Homo-oligomer: A and B are copies of this chain.
Amino acid sequence: MPPSRRPPRRRPPRVPHDVADLSLASAGEARVDWADAQMPVLAQVRARFAREQPFAGVRIAASLHVTAETGNLVRTLQAGGGEVWIAAANPLSTQDEVAAALVVGDGAAVFARRRADRATVMAHQRAVAFAEPPGGPRPRRPGSGPTSVVTMDDGGDLLALWHGIRRAGEADDAGGDVTDDPPAHGLIGGTEETTAGALRLRAMADRGELTVPVLAVHEAETHRVVENRHGTGQSALDGILRATNVLLAGRTVVVLGYGSCGRGVAARARGMGAAVTICEIDPIRALEAKLEGYDVAPALEAAAAGDVFVTVTGNRDVLTAEHFRAMRDGAILANAGHFDVEISLADLASVADGPATEVRPLVERYVVDGRRLHLLAGGRVVNLAAAEGYPASVMDLSFTNQALAVEALVVDRERFAPGVHRVPQEMDAEMARLKLASLGIGIDMLSDRQAAYGRAWT
């Protein structure tokens, strides 16, 4: 192979890894770089980490979606002096070119292959948890390398491994390299990204099994504001437009659920010229919606008047047989909730005349009493299934949150007792402040006199 085929500055990667195809690296770098342009908050943190080196001597073991946005998180942790090992939390979301770029360009220990089977995924996670590449030699001599570890989880898998919880039912997959011995490096704590993972870890804590502190990053207020309202709001509509190319102006969009996600969907649907009807079981939220000028109605009444339906309640059976029977010809049904239980697929099949037909990609037509109902993405979350999920600038905050949480665990380690914690309020505020700064916005601070005035009231 002629040397010109390989950039001269790149040596063969010596870092442990298992990725699909290293030759995809330059395509991966372009994607990571595009995402970087949308992630200015993390870039600010990265610059500070580069100066302060908070992660010197720390290994960071991450089980996350291996995407371009995550690539920038990896670079940020490395900039802070950390040694990063990363496995895919979900093999379906892995971007192989990004995995390659992180190995080749950044020297991260990446274990991720798109569509890997379950055994591989678990082997990858074990490799990352304990810095033990499957089948290969130990990456370093005893005594060298980081002696502290922080985990980053998307579902609690790494911490479960560390706490030896993996063995129940997983022995067959895991093979012979599972041991009961605690690893040599000291675990400081971990971060957790998901509601489900936090539930799992809180259950461990309740049983007295969790030995380290965990910061539940998704519970930050900043996260709620940015991800739910704006991330979900935009991407749900984006998914609906990509799937259908329907004109929203003049149509009636029914939003079922007026939590922070539903508010984001409703505000944007109105902003596109739609009349918006809100269905909500909480009367206070329903009143809020009404006072903001939305129509508010029970779902059955809305069913007869709507053109586009978006479920975003977090509950099940929001649209059922009675609603489908009431709908008008041409109605469009989309779900923006996490699980595909909000639109009852069983009911839809049972009231339809015959099986569904695909009329466009991701659009299935059911005929109910002679009227055509169009289900998007099989009732799965339309933001991801028909669009691309959260924009990079939303992930910017999520991953800044992650990076700051890891820092807090390392630098302030005495502060956190074992257990699952919300991120500290000042960290939440700091994230918002960094985000504002990235938009060129500064804000004022309380004067001493004002602070004293406020205290006089409390």
Contact = CB atoms under 8 A, between A and B. Distances in A.
Contacts of A445: 281
Given A37-B330, A273-B230, A432-B287, A454 B248 contact: no
A206 interface: no
A242 B282 CA distance: 34
A30 to B, nearest CB: 5
A448 to B, nearest CB: 11
A30 B288 contact: no
A450 interface: yes
Given A315-B450, A446-B281, A250 B31 contact: no
B291 A436 contact: no
Contact of A283 (B296, B317, B358, B433): B433
Nearest to A331: B37
Interface string A355-388: 0011110010100000010100000000000011
A267 B275 contact: no
A392 B270 CA distance: 20
Interface in A27-67: 30-31, 33-34, 37-38, 40
Interface of A: 30-31, 33-34, 37-38, 40, 195, 199, 221-222, 225-226, 229-231, 233-235, 238, 241-242, 245-250, 267-268, 270-276, 279-284, 286-288, 290-300, 314-317, 329-330, 341, 357-360, 363, 365, 372, 374, 387-388, 390-394, 428-430, 432-433, 435-436, 439, 441-447, 449-450, 453-454, 457
18 contacts: A34-B360, A40-B330, A222-B284, A230-B247, A230-B249, A230-B250, A235-B245, A238-B238, A247-B391, A250-B293, A274-B293, A276-B293, A281-B443, A284-B428, A314-B454, A315-B446, A315-B454, A341-B453
